[in-house]
Structure 1
Amino acid sequence: MARAAQLAVEGADRMSLTRQVRAGSLVRVRHGAYASELGVDAMERHLQLVAATWPLLGESAVLSHSSAAVLHGLPTWERDLAKVTVIRPEGGHGRAGTWLHARLGALEPDQVCQLQNLRVTSLARTAVDRACGLSYDRAVATLDAALRAGVRRSELEQIVRGARRRHGVGVARAALAFADGASESVGESISRVLIAQVGLPAPSLQVEIRDRSGRWVARSDFGWLEQRVVGEFDGRIKYLGDEASVADTVIREKAREQAIRDAGWVVVRWTWADLSDPIGFRRRVQAAFDHARGLTNPAS
């Protein structure tokens, strides 16, 4: 990352920078900041924007919200990453510009940490800040991730109590009551929210499947133990790669699924598309329940 002033010292004037941008040898990260190439995804590009913006911020600024979420590895969504987000102490100046969204707020000493030589809101504070500004299902996914990373529920509850007058705190409070660190991905978290919303029984999470002799077979994302049904969220990421590796993955996944069935379970799978169709999703899971019941009681 290089700023225009630094490049000027090295002999690059404004016209030279413009020519290099047009030629593709430099890319503009933001006004006055350049890189040799842009990050490959939204998170990498956001980190470049943070690096370009941080030197311009005062000593009181603390990276927060979506910027802190990227640094902590919490879930983020691309629309939230167009600006660097910071908190400044009350009495300073808040602003929402092209590259920066600065909020005013108080931070307790234990709500600030250092990451990559940057002042950042703590993992717990970041999770609650994000949850206050997200939809319920995304707030659950964020708080699930914080719990999974080792944040104590009591710490999150304390921060939520301290935010009782903030916009969105009701969503954060409800999401925290539902949050479960056993959810291992955003897709699993949002699946769990939808399962509750469509009135299906609450599943157990990360269920260990064993065959009739007690030998371990697999671990499944969701398990309805009474119904003998396991549920699997398929984010498709595991199917990326060259043709040979994808084929090998598919073969192993089919063998794993057959082993689960041989152990006496019915398997139901779903994807992101299914999560956008609540009625269809409920029917899919209910059909698995009905199928499992038919296997248990073939005469019914």
Structure 2
Amino acid sequence: MAMAYVLNNCDTLKKSAKNNTAVLSVLRRDGMGEVIQPGTQNLTSLRIAGLYGHNPLQNHILDALPSEDFRRLLPHLEFVAMPFGMTVCEADSQIRHIYFLTSSIISLLHDMKDGSSAETAVIGNEGALGVTLFMGGGKSLNRATVKSAGYGFRLKASMLTEEFARGGALQQLLLRYTQTLLAQMSQTAVCNRHHSVPQQLCRTLLLTLDRLPGNEISVTQSSIAAMLGVRRESIAEAAGKLQEDGLIQYARGHLTVLDRDGLEARACECYLGLKHDYHETLCEKKVS
């Protein structure tokens, strides 16, 4: 049975919504009590409590907000489906929304004139896509593509600008997250230059795994090669070695991590460095 949460019970929502298996509903507060049907995309100015178990509070930034701040944003969050391969924005394009991901993962890619590309960062439920909106530019620096299908909630640029100008909790959280995103980009650049393909493969698998609820990843060797900017044959060889050693199982675009500790042992120091930066910057500091 669907569970409907009204806006004036925000504290109850923040406690109950932790259960990812809960089936939540969205009610239109127009006096009619109309339930929004599956497939609806335009949920702006609705009292959102979540859809199909996908709740805004599954995003770590939104979850860390004080109840009052979350209550203020809630009516303006728009639920969006993010299928695999979807391009959320192109490089140098104007960003119209900030995306708070819940179950999807986005890859930031830098494209070259010859058609090649390389991944500069990944974003999952720990963060948000669209940080340039509050950094003064407003344009995307990279192409953002969905690398793992799922869902998220987006907020219009105008609403983000207004909320950011308050100088409250959301501003602090977004600035801290931006610090971790920049650290990830810097670490990725160093890793791609100095570490072997097998080490890079372990790093990218672990970063993806951190943003998923289980140990299964939907990915192809070609897509990993494109993200790392290397030949597919190099990825096939590295993945084959990991499978031979019992760390992963791979078949037809579906990869299962069997030994996470073993995978971490094969990765370079970049992965643990990024993990430490994330916990130090976002997890161990309280928002005032």
TM norm. shorter chain > 0.5: no
TM-score calculated relative to the size of structure 2 = 0.28
TM-score by length of 1: 0.28
More helix by share: 1
Q: Which has the higher contact order (CA 8 A, sep 6+)?
A: 2
Larger Rg: 1
